[in-house]
Amino acid sequence: MTMTPSRPLSLITGASSGIGAAFARQLAALGHDLVLTARRADRLETLAAELFGQHDTKVTVLPHDLANPAAPQELADALDQHGLQVDWLINNAGYGLPGSFDANDWTAHADFLQVLLTAPTELAWRLLPGMRQRGYGRIINVASLAGHVPGPAGHTLYAATKAYLIKFSQSLALENHTAGVNVCALCPGFTWSEFHDITRTRDKMNKMPGFMWLSAEDVVHQGIAAVERGQAVYIPGRVNRTIKTVVQLMPDRLAMWLSARESKRYRNTSA
């Protein structure tokens, strides 16, 4: 039997900006208390003060760098020390690593895989048992439309990690839906955020037509609704859903050719 808590507690990774901050604001407005984590403690504290002022939200700030392999365990230990039981896990932390595969050293790749693949998997593993025991939980793994289409040149590991999160979410959803735990891979396309500033592709991305973009607020609103419906995979935006369907119907060779052509417009494929 699903027992929805009166004030669910949500842990949001990568909460300092973009989609993560949008999740914090919308979940606070829905009556959630929050645990926010990211590297930039000052931004988390500013956001926490904003949400307390607007919604009387209890916000616990736990700064961590998820590139550190010890971070998920440390987060779980800190939650225990604060007596906090997480009802919603938003695995949102992520970034892009521009350039061809051999243009980056292995440390950069290892950190990337730790943040985008290993950390969300471990956090789900550590927090899922409590959700099952209480008969209620929500896990949103922020994946990407990139996980549904051929991987482009440049950002070599990005699409691969997002495809993993999609399959991982599907399996978790099947394993846990009868225990009151819904799992959703949220797969946005182009979203207004700092992502493309950090990857130094903003000038290229500004050439993309406006109809290709969604706001972080729209992505999050649709994602929350999708996980509540029990939808294991959700792509926000009609244009993005159309792209996924068209690509799936194409022969692989044609899809790869289109990916190669389009990636030159908005990816850094060299060092």
How far apart CA 76 and CA 89 sit, in angstroms, is 12
User: Cβ-count burial of 13 within 10 angstroms (0-12 exposed, 13-18 middle, 19+ buried)?
Assistant: buried
Strands (DSSP E) found in the chain? 9-13, 33-37, 59-61, 88-91, 137-142, 181-186, 190-192, 213-215, 233-234
Side-chain-side CA neighbours of 227 within 13 Å: the count stands at 29
Angle between helical axes of 18-29 and 216-229 (0-180°, round to 10): 60
Rg of the chain over Cα atoms, rounded to whole angstroms, equals: 18
Catalytic residues: 158
- Which positions ≥6 away from 245 have C-beta within 8 Å? none
Task: Provide the residue type at 99 as one letter.
Answer: G
Q: How far apart are CA 2 and CA 187, in angstroms?
A: 26
Torsion of CA 202, 203, 208, 212, to 10 degrees: 10
